[in-house]
Amino acid sequence: MPLKHVGEKPWKNSKEEQEKSTFHYKCAINISNQLLTEPLNEIYVDSEVTKQTETGETQRTEEMINHDIETRTRVNSDIISPITQGDNGHHEKRNSDMPDDVARLTTENLSRIESVKDDGIWPVCMDFGGQAIYRAIHPILASREAVYLLVVDPTKDLSAPAQCLVKEPGYDEVKIPSPDKNDTNLDHIMRWMDMVNSFKHEKNGDVLPPVILVGTHADLVKDPEIVTTSVKDIICDTAREFSEHIIGKTFAVNNTLAGKELEEEDLQVVALRKEILKVADTLPHTKDVVPLKWLQVENEVRNLASAGTNYVTRQDFRKNICDEICKFEVEDDYEVLLQFLHDRGSVVYHGRADDPGSLVFFNQKWLIDVLCQIITVEKQKEEKTVISNLRKDLGEYGTLDAKLLDYSCTKLGVGDIKESLLFLMKKFNLLCEYTGKDGSSVYLVPCMLTSTPHDSLMPDVSVNPGPAPVYVTFTTQYVPVGLFPRMVVLCLEFAQRRIACNQPKLRANFARFFVGDHTAVDFVCYKRVIKVDVWNYIDQKNINPFDKSLSLSFSFLKTSLERLHEENHWLQTVSWDLCARCNLCRPQFVPGTAKCHWHAKADCCHDDCVHYVSLTRKPVVCSHTLRGPKVCPPKTWSQVLEDATDKNYSNFDRTVTNQGRESFICEEVSLAGKVLKEGTLCSDDHQGLSNSISKGWRKLGRLLGIREEDLDDIDERGRDYFDKAYQMLRLWKEKNASNATYRVLCRALCDECLNRRDLAERFCFRQECHPRYGNN
């Protein structure tokens, strides 16, 4: 519910304000202002109001505020009665069409001498906090059209281990165990900034959404303003791109003086309220005129939520709610309205215009409870042993079995919307789906994975003196939340196709995969970088640069990063690079202390605190070092591969000539017990590939020989990526008839320009009747 008529006083709706909707207030303001400024015998009110019946149903009234003289209002004493024009041309009085709340508010407004102001910000406030599972859910509720307050406790050291504290109403604050014991207070700050940065956009030179940094417990800190400002400086030094969201002014507030009478309140709290309204007033969307009928739709949504309706499909929302109030001629207008309601916190909506079955959630608390219960590890009462064992697997391995998923959805009464919930959970990284050895779906739950201490992850250099690892770095100088588990499940599928043995247990920050007879790939997720090391687990001293597994692993690394960037909306604002660790430069440190940001150690040589040199920009040299003639970092396994193949970096994935590429791909896939399909593209694969190719549809079209003008026409007419890909593949099939074969499609998908070997394997190959490898 929006906070109404806010200013420098404590923000809290009165009981009366809480009971009346924004729609009622705006109706009353429009009516009263026109009554105060227009002649009484000719009043037109620009709105349409409703009367709630005792049964809770909404009745349509005449258009009360219509500049075509369909409805007028007349003031008689202190009673407001709508007057409508009947069929015979005479005015007919109707005394009961205006809601009582609107009438009362209008009467109050009319008692004032001057017009009632309809400007100012009416904020909708949301509190984000809690343990790891709730942090994973918050992006589902967050909005790009918002002002964010980053609240930090300056009494705590940023490099100290973070404590997950939860306080329920009526109970003392308690500490909740976190699955990531390596998290520091700085980690928590950066995780929130990463979420805000996923909404990054610019308007008039400003980086949005804006963030206001607020330090608490000012009464417990000496020079709290300086301490809070130093936190901002550390964020700027650690992740400059994140810091662009933070406004220049910071606040240090005394919690003990918040919420008191205005003259007794902390002045910084009062100043903070003013600053929030000032910053909000600069946001572009606060200048938009909101149609009154949109607020009427919002009012109806709140009524339905209060009556126990937790969700509806997009189709039902449009037919039974929206079209009854404000039917649109343009389909996109429904999406704009739904996004408006989502940004205001009235609904949760992440559907698509082309999917009428997409869900519109009215009850946020109900949705959060359902999502948490689906992935809970707590044993329920009178639960079958097989289900309780699956919950143990979820807690120990972080994997959600399809049987446990079905059981939980059925028990919660949401079996009919399971697919929609899965779509939502996968989109926001609550689940990462992959295909198991038996072909069934398995779901990795990232927030259930536990971390491994960093010092126990990889052999020391003295033990493993092979080529140096490759590091994935990011423009934000922080690993995007949700990226690592998605990389892991892609690599798991890749490894299962390559070799038949069981793969090791996955961790929140570490994964190891065996991808060949001698080759293993290790992934380590730190704060700023992801380390990728390829090594020979038979002979740790050497790797064979001519081993096909090495080149395939490097090709997979690049392809998976490109694919994840394409498919995930929260990665659109982030760019990545492949780098070598530089051992020539001094580690990064906080100016004035000579200690690192993350661990508060002097001369820290941790992977998060050192300098990196790009492998994609030649020559690979450090431009920062001043130490003697040596300017090149240690050679990585990717550079060893480059030297062995004597090719450019951009062509690492070419392990065979173009003539042999197709047969090479067929050979690789056949190792996993698959053979290339015969004949032309079938309808199921047509639809499945259209749904998976995403932004790559145009590149694929070019590789399949579709003319550029035809691609332009499809791009203009297509509603979304699925529709464009579907139309492009249909045109290819129509033009090539019997030549539109899986072999041709496979060649195009695996071409270096597109490099979607994963889609080729998924849609162009079938399982052999007698696979070469059995299941272990």
Reading the block at residue 116, the tokens are 């009632």
Average pLDDT (337-353) is: 91
Q: Quick one: pLDDT at residue 709?
A: 84
Among candidates 189, 544, 126, which has minimal Cα distance to 364? 126
Reading the block at residue 520, the tokens are 């293993």
Reading the block at residue 23, the tokens are 């729609």
Reading the block at residue 554, the tokens are 């490097």
User: pTM of the full predicted structure?
Assistant: 0.74
Among candidates 691, 681, 685, 699, which has minimal Cα distance to 738? 681
Cβ-based neighbours of 385, under 8 Å, separated by 6 or more: none
CB 268 within 8 A of CB 253: yes
Cα torsion through 458, 459, 465, 467, rounded to 10: -10
The residue written with tokens 């979304």 in the block is 720
Among candidates 148, 150, 166, which has minimal Cα distance to 158? 150
Q: Would you place residue 146 in the very low, low, confident or very high pLDDT band (cuts 50, 70, 90)?
A: very high
Q: Quick one: pLDDT at residue 541?
A: 62
Q: Quick one: pLDDT at residue 77?
A: 31
Q: Quick one: pLDDT at residue 629?
A: 64
Q: Quick one: pLDDT at residue 470?
A: 95
Helix (H) or strand (E) holding 151: strand 148-152
Among 10-14, 47-51, 404-408, where is mean pLDDT lowest? 47-51
Helix (H) or strand (E) holding 487: helix 483-498
Q: Would you place residue 338 in the very low, low, confident or very high pLDDT band (cuts 50, 70, 90)?
A: very high
Distance, first Cα to last Cα, the chain = 56
- C-alpha separations of 681 from 292, 469, 677 in Å: 50, 41, 9
Among 40-54, 470-484, 590-604, where is mean pLDDT lowest? 40-54
Q: Quick one: pLDDT at residue 524?
A: 93
Average pLDDT (26-41) is: 74
Which pLDDT tens digit goes with each residue over 550-561? 888 888 888 888
Helices (H) and strands (E) in the chain, counts: 26, 26
Among 259-268, 351-360, 385-394, 467-476, where is mean pLDDT lowest? 259-268
H helix intervals, 263-384: 267-281, 292-306, 314-316, 323-326, 331-343, 364-374
CB 190 within 8 A of CB 527: yes
Which pLDDT tens digit goes with each residue over 752-774? 778 888 888 888 888 665 443 33
Q: 689-724 in b/e burial notation, b at 16+ Cβ within 10 A?
A: bbebbbebbbbbbbbbebeeeebeebeeebeebbeb
What percentage of the chain exceeds 70 in pLDDT?
79
Q: Quick one: pLDDT at residue 60?
A: 33
Among 187-191, 456-460, 582-586, where is mean pLDDT lowest? 456-460
Residue type at 504 in one-letter notation: P
Q: What is the 3-state secondary structure (H, E, C) of 321-347?
A: HHHHHHCCCCHHHHHHHHHHHHHCCCC
Among 40-54, 297-311, 592-606, where is mean pLDDT lowest? 40-54
Q: Which long-range contacts (CB under 8 A, 24 or more apart) does 462-465 make?
A: 463/540, 464/535, 464/540, 464/541, 465/541
Among candidates 547, 432, 405, which has minimal Cα distance to 490? 432
Cα dihedral across residues 402, 408, 414, 415: positive or negative = positive
759 φ, ψ (degrees, to nearest 5) = -75, -35
Q: Would you place residue 111 in the very low, low, confident or very high pLDDT band (cuts 50, 70, 90)?
A: confident
The Cα–Cα gap between 322 and 554 comes to 51
Which pLDDT tens digit goes with each residue over 562-582? 888 878 888 888 999 999 998
CB 765 within 8 A of CB 662: no
Q: Quick one: pLDDT at residue 177?
A: 55
H helix intervals, 499-636: 548-567
Q: Reduce the DSSP state of residue 111 to 3 states and report it.
A: coil
Answer whether residue 426 shows pLDDT above 60. yes
Which pLDDT tens digit goes with each residue over 587-605? 777 666 778 878 888 888 8
Q: Would you place residue 131 in the very low, low, confident or very high pLDDT band (cuts 50, 70, 90)?
A: low
Average pLDDT (444-473) is: 70
